[in-house]
Amino acid sequence: MYLDESKLVWAAALVADVDPDELLARVDVAALATIVADVDEAIGPIDAAARLLVRVVRDRPFLTGNAAIGWLAAVEVLAAAGWRVSVHRARVLRLCGDIREGVLSDADAAAVLGRWVVEDGRACPACGRRVYTRDAAAGWRLMPGGSRFELTARCAFEHGRHDRSGRSVVSPGYYRVEPRRQVLARGACGSFLVTGDRTNVVVSPFCDDPPIVRVVEVDEVRPGDLVGRWDRLVERSSTLGFVPANEARPDESGCVDLGRLRRALRDSRPHGAVAAGGDVAPCPVGVL
């Protein structure tokens, strides 16, 4: 079902700036029910939106503002399907005028609408997920200068399934539960390496306030990796997630509870959300 009477009343109430209950008392409910029944027979969201616009503009079930109500309700039907409409208002005015004069059929209106519909947001170059969907802060659309780097970083912020470079963030579900493990090596700015039977992890400071650490899974540690900067070690590894620093802090004996760390990773927020919550201290894995 694309629409019910209540959605149409809500759209009308928003356009008329009145309470929906108040508006309902003055509306012809039979006309509304007939429109909804017609829309329900549509074969897709665009067809449904077109039928809705044509019926509301032509049958005028509301006292005033029928074209505006029809347009907003049609946009809502498309938005519910994950689409948005990108068109200049002059064209919408012309479309509604043609509908009112009976020049356009349902199919004609659907064909016109179909040309204006775009999928909401933009595709991430790294993973294809949609970003900038319905984001008022982004001005409803991506700025012309939006590059693949911006889209990838934005996707990391919104979905958190890869980092800002597009490297995938391995699901914490694959992380093995292991007992407490001794810290093998420490970096200069608070990073440390813990090795286990199956997994090695590097924990490094990510954010100072609130204290957040990044947990990186390292498949293999070569002797040269721990000499100087740990960049090479991190480059060929996958970020597991971002957790509160106290969840990964070594105890007095220098051991880290990997079971606790795993649970924290499972409950952790996407790192974009973490970054948004506080100032990010750019702290690469340190030196020995």
Q: Binding residues for another protein, per CB under 8 A?
A: 4-7, 9-11, 14-15, 20-21, 24-25, 29-30, 32-34, 37, 64-68, 71-72, 75-76, 79-80, 84-85, 89-90, 92-93, 96-97, 134, 136, 140
Q: How far is the CB of 54 from another protein (least distance, A)?
A: 14
Check: CB of residue 270 under 8 Å from CB of residue 168: no
Q: How far is the CB of 43 from another protein (least distance, A)?
A: 18
Q: How far apart are CA 86 and CA 286, in angstroms?
A: 48
Q: How many CA atoms lie within 13 A of 138 on its CB side?
A: 19
Dihedral (Cα; 92, 98, 99, 105), 10-degree rounding: -110
Amino acid at 72: L
Closest separation in Å from C-beta 61 to another protein: 12
Residue with tokens 């006309």: 31
Q: How far is the CB of 13 from another protein (least distance, A)?
A: 9
* Between 102 and 173, CB nearer to another protein: 102
Burial of 222 (0-12, 13-18, 19+ CB in 10 A): exposed
For another protein, which is the closer residue by CB, 64 or 182? 64
Residue (99 or 258) nearer to another protein, CB: 99
Q: Which is nearer to another protein, 72 or 243 (CB)?
A: 72
- Given a contact cutoff of 8 angstroms between Cβ atoms, the answer to whether 58 and 31 are in contact is no
For the bound state, the minimum distance from the C-beta of residue 175 to another protein, rounded and expressed in Å, comes to 32
Whichever of 90 and 220 has its CB closer to another protein, that residue is 90
Q: What are phi and psi of 234, to 5 degrees?
A: -75, -35
Enter the tokens of residue 250: 């070594």
Least CB distance from residue 68 to another protein, whole Å? 4
Cβ closest to another protein, residue 62 vs residue 230 = 62
Closer residue to another protein in complex, CB, 95/201: 95
User: Omega before 210 cis (within 30°)?
Assistant: yes
The C-alpha atoms of residue 130 and residue 40 are separated, in whole angstroms, by 28
Distance (Å, whole) CA 163 – CA 149: 11
CB of 91 to another protein, least distance (A): 9
CA distance readout (Å), 66 to 70, 71, 79, 136, 263: 6, 8, 20, 26, 54
Residue 223 DSSP label = G
3-state helix, strand, coil in the chain (%, to 5): 45, 20, 35
Comparing CB distances to another protein, the nearer of 23 and 265 is 23
Minimum Å gap between C-beta 155 and another protein is 20
